[in-house]
């Protein structure tokens, strides 16, 4: 019997007795700042989290409440599973949407678990992340206006958000409204503010991001070959921006990218430097072609297609196979993107396709650069790649399991690399298929680990460890990606951005997969088993022997033949579906609607939902928050 409705009613009844209350400013659909009232009550229970709302509440807010309870319980030293928590949200709005009240929900749960009420003149805004950090939100200026009208004296905002668009809101709040605006990087800092005396000023100053400081890495000779490629691309970027107006915002950003890449190259973070250069080159190339006529843009795409058709990878040897595989992977990414462009030419304008074109162009350039190094190293021990076919099939099967667990169109990165791995395997590039399969496997496994982690201690255990860097040098790509993971980990420490931390964990898992699978692939090549079928895809043969029973009606045999034919058709369709994944081209909003539907139908777990919704949820609000916040990171791309 489901007792949740009864429990919910009982919790509503105890609300009249006592509860913790806080204020959290929000922005309504018209863009106006409003003040919401948040209440919480915790009673003995079994880990339930309930929300009673006067307006409609989104799935994002529900997920935020669950994370809030787990963070608060950990900080209070209690087990969330021993309590049921009921939140009540009262807002003068039709919909309560988004996670910007997460910090306040966490403080409320903490107050209930500890029996300590926070100061009464405080309001706050900010998300709560799974590691306890407080994430950035949009609409700070509008929320300050709502706080002013309510007579609040202490307004806590996420780290780095007291300045908006060059305007010092903290100074204005203090001078004009006698409100102190304080920044909190994490829940610990919020607790210090919340439990200071009413009416007092807290010890908080406007934040300035410290300069990035990285420990120098003792990189391998092999990875230093990659450094040469990045340095060459860096110089090409410098030449491309030389003619830009020095005061142009794009030129300023490009010069900053050059400086960042120089520092990363000097410290040994070669892949991180490559990402900086690659991202800026994509932006520059996209800007260059976005105003092309449709006819001229078609010519550009056709030229890319010509390069795809003309590409010839270097022969693999034991000395160069990782370079060839890296080149072939980027070639596969480019060819998939070119196919997307060709499919979109009739429907889209150049401006809408400019970034995809620039990505394909630069992936092809990267493929050529890596292939050139592979060709130089080609005079070595011949490698029988076919001997790794069975091993590659096993790794691809692992990736296919991931594909079966996550519906197509929900996780674009997994879809992308799974398509590439299947294409590579089908073309006989078995080692390269292992490369892309590792992306699929590690992205899924790291996502599960992130979804199950809560609090700083859990995430500290997931971070990459600099002491393991030397172990990664057994594989070129494991070393490069692990160095990038260390960079992202340091950026997470510097900026407090949860996205850097999650990317560091993903890259750590990817590096470990590439290290292990590369070693296993070489073992498979050195010790081949009985040769399998030469078909690059699994083949299926169905045979049948039909014996006529003269005592039966001959029509029974005919029916049997027809049934056998139907089975063959069904099996063929199953194989086709197994090795082809439909590209949906969904928008972020469409992905979120599909995620909501899958969760409601019980097709995916809450852990999987939370991991994927953190990527695709609230794209418009994320963009608004990014514009409002000072520059602290660039979008990461794969080079």
Pairwise CA distance, residues 356 & 139, whole Å: 31
Q: Is 80 exceeded by the pLDDT of residue 563?
A: no
CB atoms within 10 A of CB 593: 13
Sign of the C-alpha dihedral, residues 500, 506, 509, 511? negative
Q: Is 80 exceeded by the pLDDT of residue 526?
A: yes
For residue 250, the model assigns a pLDDT of 83
Least confident of 148-162, 431-445, 517-531: 517-531
Q: 122 in helix, strand or coil? A: strand
Maximum mean pLDDT: which of 71-85, 515-529, 598-612: 71-85
Output the six-digit token pair for 3. Answer: 């007792």
CB atoms within 10 A of CB 600: 11
With both helix axes pointing from N to C terminus, report the angle between 350-376 and 221-241 in degrees, rounded to the nearest 10: 140
Q: Is 60 exceeded by the pLDDT of residue 622?
A: no
Q: Which residues are 26's β-sheet partners?
A: 34
For residue 195, the model assigns a pLDDT of 97
For residue 20, the model assigns a pLDDT of 87
For residue 31, the model assigns a pLDDT of 81
Pairwise CA distance, residues 462 & 506, whole Å: 9
CB atoms within 10 A of CB 155: 28
With both helix axes pointing from N to C terminus, report the angle between 498-526 and 430-452 in degrees, rounded to the nearest 10: 140
Q: What is the mean pLDDT of the chain?
A: 83
Judge contact between 272 and 480, C-beta under 8 A. no
Judge contact between 67 and 102, C-beta under 8 A. yes
| Confidence class for position 99, pLDDT limits 50, 70, 90 | confident
Sign of the C-alpha dihedral, residues 501, 635, 638, 259? negative
Residue 543 phi/psi, 5° resolution? Answer: -130, 160
Pairwise CA distance, residues 589 & 616, whole Å: 7
For residue 636, the model assigns a pLDDT of 41
Pairwise CA distance, residues 213 & 217, whole Å: 12
Q: Is 60 exceeded by the pLDDT of residue 626?
A: no
CB atoms within 10 A of CB 264: 25
Burial class (CB in 10 A: 0-12, 13-18, 19+), 221: exposed
Q: What structural domains and CATH numbers belong to the chain?
A: 4-194 (3.30.230.10), 384-532 (no CATH)
The residue assigned the tokens 């009262």 is: 90
| Tens digits of residue pLDDT in 401-436 | 999 998 877 788 999 999 999 999 999 999 999 999
Output the six-digit token pair for 60. Answer: 């994002």
For residue 268, the model assigns a pLDDT of 98
CB atoms within 10 A of CB 460: 12
Distances (CA, A) of 602 to 329, 409, 443: 35, 18, 22
Q: Is 60 exceeded by the pLDDT of residue 576?
A: no
Q: Which residues contact 263 (CB under 8 A, 6 or more apart)?
A: 212, 214
Q: Which residues contact 54 (CB under 8 A, 6 or more apart)?
A: 89, 90, 91
321, 324, 329, 333 alpha-carbon torsion, rounded to 10°: 180
Q: Is 70 exceeded by the pLDDT of residue 217?
A: yes
Least confident of 58-67, 242-251, 599-608: 599-608
Pairwise CA distance, residues 241 & 220, whole Å: 32
Pairwise CA distance, residues 72 & 107, whole Å: 7
Q: Which residues are 96's β-sheet partners?
A: 57
Least confident of 294-298, 392-396, 407-411, 543-547: 543-547
CB atoms within 10 A of CB 481: 29
The length of the chain is 639
For residue 334, the model assigns a pLDDT of 96
| Confidence class for position 246, pLDDT limits 50, 70, 90 | confident
Q: Is 70 exceeded by the pLDDT of residue 3?
A: no
Pairwise CA distance, residues 101 & 436, whole Å: 38
| Confidence class for position 542, pLDDT limits 50, 70, 90 | very low
Judge contact between 176 and 222, C-beta under 8 A. no
| Confidence class for position 547, pLDDT limits 50, 70, 90 | very low
Sign of the C-alpha dihedral, residues 527, 530, 536, 539? negative
Pairwise CA distance, residues 183 & 168, whole Å: 13
Whose CA is closest to 86, among 116, 104, 67, 112? 112
| Strand boundaries in 222-363, DSSP class E | none
| Tens digits of residue pLDDT in 341-391 | 999 999 999 999 999 999 999 999 999 999 999 999 978 888 889 999 999
Q: Which long-range contacts (CB under 8 A, 24 or more apart) does 529-532 make?
A: 529/390, 531/386, 532/389, 532/390
Whose CA is closest to 153, among 185, 199, 87? 199
Maximum mean pLDDT: which of 50-59, 108-117, 557-566, 591-600: 108-117
Q: Is 60 exceeded by the pLDDT of residue 337?
A: yes
Whose CA is closest to 265, among 210, 237, 220, 228? 228
Mean pLDDT across the stretch 185-214?
90
Q: Is 60 exceeded by the pLDDT of residue 502?
A: yes
For residue 219, the model assigns a pLDDT of 96
Kind plus residue range of the DSSP H or E element containing 524: helix 498-526
Judge contact between 23 and 148, C-beta under 8 A. no
Kind plus residue range of the DSSP H or E element containing 102: helix 102-114
Distances (CA, A) of 460 to 75, 255, 450, 505: 16, 34, 11, 10
Maximum mean pLDDT: which of 19-28, 63-72, 610-619: 63-72
| Tens digits of residue pLDDT in 459-476 | 999 999 999 999 999 999
Q: How far is CA 347 from the centre of its chain?
A: 28
Judge contact between 51 and 61, C-beta under 8 A. yes
Q: Please report, rounded to a whole number, the percentage of residues in the chain having pLDDT higher than 70.
A: 77
Least confident of 222-226, 373-377, 425-429, 556-560: 556-560
For residue 478, the model assigns a pLDDT of 98
Pairwise CA distance, residues 206 & 157, whole Å: 11
Residue 127 phi/psi, 5° resolution? Answer: -80, 165
**Secondary structure of 276-309 in HEC code, one letter for each residue:** HHHHHHHHHHHHHHCCCCHHHHHHHHHHHHHHHH
Pairwise CA distance, residues 238 & 182, whole Å: 40
| Confidence class for position 251, pLDDT limits 50, 70, 90 | confident
Q: Is 90 exceeded by the pLDDT of residue 40?
A: yes
| Confidence class for position 578, pLDDT limits 50, 70, 90 | very low
Output the six-digit token pair for 411. Answer: 């996780």
């Amino acid at each position: 019997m489901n007792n949740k409705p009864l429990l919910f009613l009982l919790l509503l009844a105890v609300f009249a007795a006592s509860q913790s209350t806080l204020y959290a400013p929000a922005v309504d659909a018209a863009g106006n700042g409003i003040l919401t009232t948040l209440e919480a009550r915790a009673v003995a229970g079994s880990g339930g989290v309930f929300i009673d709302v006067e307006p409609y509440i989104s799935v994002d807010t529900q997920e935020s409440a669950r994370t809030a309870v787990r963070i608060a319980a950990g900080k209070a030293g209690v087990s969330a599973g021993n309590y049921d928590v009921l939140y009540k949200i009262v807002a003068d709005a039709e919909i309560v949407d988004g996670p910007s009240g997460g910090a306040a929900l966490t403080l409320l749960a903490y107050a209930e678990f500890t029996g300590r009420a926070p100061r009464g003149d405080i309001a706050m805004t900010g998300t709560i992340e799974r590691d306890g950090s407080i994430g950035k939100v949009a609409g700070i200026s509008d929320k300050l206006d709502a706080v002013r009208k309510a007579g609040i004296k202490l307004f806590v905002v996420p780290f780095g958000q007291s300045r908006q668009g060059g305007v010092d809101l903290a100074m204005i709040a203090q001078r004009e409204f006698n409100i102190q605006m304080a920044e909190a990087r994490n829940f610990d800092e919020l607790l210090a503010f919340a439990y200071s005396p009413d009416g007092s000023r807290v010890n908080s100053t406007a934040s300035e991001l410290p300069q990035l400081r990285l420990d120098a890495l003792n990189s391998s000779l092999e990875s230093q070959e990659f450094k040469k490629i990045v340095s060459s691309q860096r110089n090409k970027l410098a030449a491309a921006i030389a003619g830009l107006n020095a005061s142009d915002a794009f030129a300023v950003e490009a010069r900053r990218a050059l400086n960042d890449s120089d520092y990363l190259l000097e410290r040994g973070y070669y892949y991180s430097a490559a990402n900086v250069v690659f991202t800026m080159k994509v932006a520059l190339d996209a800007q260059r072609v976005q105003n092309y006529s449709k006819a001229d843009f078609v010519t550009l795409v056709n030229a890319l297609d010509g390069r795809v058709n003309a590409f010839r990878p270097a022969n693999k040897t034991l000395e160069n196979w990782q370079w060839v595989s890296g080149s072939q992977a980027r070639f596969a990414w480019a060819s998939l993107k070119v196919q997307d462009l060709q499919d979109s030419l009739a429907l889209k304008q150049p401006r809408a396709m400019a970034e995809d074109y620039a990505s394909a162009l630069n992936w092809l350039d990267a493929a050529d650069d890596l292939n050139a190094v592979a060709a130089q190293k080609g005079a070595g021990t011949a490698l029988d790649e076919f001997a790794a076919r069975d091993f590659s099939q096993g790794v691809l099967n692992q990736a296919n399991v991931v594909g079966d667990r996550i519906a197509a169109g929900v996780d674009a990165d997994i879809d992308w690399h799974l398509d590439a791995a299947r294409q590579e395997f089908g073309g006989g590039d078995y080692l390269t298929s292992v490369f892309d399969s590792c992306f699929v496997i590690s992205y899924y496994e790291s996502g599960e680990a992130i979804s199950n982690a809560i609090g700083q201690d859990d995430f500290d255990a997931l971070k990459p460890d600099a002491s393991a860097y030397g172990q990664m040098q057994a594989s070129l790509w494991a070393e490069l990606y692990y160095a990038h993971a260390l960079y992202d980990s340091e950026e997470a420490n510097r900026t407090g951005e949860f996205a850097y931390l999650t990317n560091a964990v993903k890259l750590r898992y990817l590096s470990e997969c590439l290290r292990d699978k590369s070693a296993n692939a070489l073992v498979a090549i050195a010790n081949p088993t009985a040769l399998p079928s030469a078909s690059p895809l699994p083949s299926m043969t169905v045979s049948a022997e039909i014996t006529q029973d003269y005592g039966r009606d001959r029509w029974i045999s005919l029916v049997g033949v027809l049934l056998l034919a139907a089975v063959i058709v069904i099996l063929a369709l199953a194989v086709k579906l197994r090795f082809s994944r439909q590209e949906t081209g969904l928008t972020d909003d469409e992905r979120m609607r599909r995620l909501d539907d899958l969760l409601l139908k019980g097709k995916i777990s809450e852990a999987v939902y939370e991991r994927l919704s953190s990527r695709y949820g609230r794209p418009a609000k994320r963009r608004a928050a990014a514009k409002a916040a000072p520059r602290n990171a660039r979008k990461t791309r794969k080079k």
